[in-house]
Amino acid sequence: MMFSSISIRCPICTQLAEFEFANYIELRHKSDLLYFKKSKHFDVVSREGWSKYKLYYHAIHYRGISPHLENIKNLPKHCAPKKWQQGVIYPNITLHKSLGTIRCNICKSISKYELTWPEEAFFQIEYKGKNLWAYDRNTAIQLLNYIKSNDRSKRVESSSENYVTQDYFLRKIPEQFQTAKARNEIVKKLRKILGL
Ligand SMILES: [Zn+2]
């Protein structure tokens, strides 16, 4: 299970907005770096690698803001549309900062955005000073069903396969949210944020 877009709070109107991870490609050639620095359709970011003496450059393409990669003429040959990757988030990986596009259907804003995760999760509740969060509406409902169930089974039916698998997302819920004492308050708060 992985997510290429997630639900966050709109910084303008505070309602539900969607964050979609940007496309990116590592730039290994100086000529490519120059091309992307000059192009109005891309940003270039540099990151330290495992050795802090070497910088890695990435071109960033924002979905919904720049034209589709396929429609941008004269891309360098090392950087054909098929070679780009989209950022994603996996439940077993901790992510703090990431670039992408934020879209809000309420105030109709769309802009480049640097995500701070999971602090900015829309579907999050607080219980005894700790935050419990979900990626989007579907995982928030999954979380609600799990917390309110009596057997607290971490095994869920996989939709694509015919066997029962363990869900990474549910497996990562800290124990403090899973006590019988916590159940009523958490279920109530999750229902409220889901509008159920
Ligand atoms: Zn908004």
pLDDT tens, per residue, the chain with 196 residues: 788 999 999 999 999 999 999 999 999 999 999 999 999 999 999 988 777 778 889 999 999 999 999 999 899 999 999 999 999 887 766 666 789 999 999 999 999 999 998 889 999 999 999 999 999 999 999 999 989 886 665 555 545 443 444 567 787 788 889 888 999 999 999 999 999 9
CA of 116 to the centre of ligand 1 (A): 17
Any idea which residue has 């992510």 for tokens? Answer: 95
For the residues of 17-43, what is the DSSP string, one character each?
EEEEEPEEEEE-SHHHHHHHHH-TT-E
Would you call 32 exposed, middle or buried from its count of C-beta atoms within 10 A (0-12, 13-18, 19+)?
buried
DSSP-derived 3-state class of residue 94: coil
Cα gap 66→23, rounded to integer Å: 11
CA of 6 to the centre of ligand 1 (A): 15
Angle between helices 180-194 and 137-148 (to 10 degrees): 150
Closest CA to 134 of 147, 121, 150, 151: 121
The predicted pLDDT at position 2 comes to 84
CA of 121 to the centre of ligand 1 (A): 14
CA of 105 to the centre of ligand 1 (A): 7
Query: What pTM value is reported for the model?
Result: 0.86
User: What type of residue is 27?
Assistant: L
Cα gap 166→50, rounded to integer Å: 33
* Residue 73 main-chain phi, psi, to 5 deg: -75, 155
> CB within 8 A of 7, min separation 6: which ones?
16, 17, 18, 19, 121, 122, 123, 135, 136, 137
At 32, list the tokens.
């490519």
- Residue 144 CB coordination number (10 Å): 20
CA of 161 to the centre of ligand 1 (A): 38
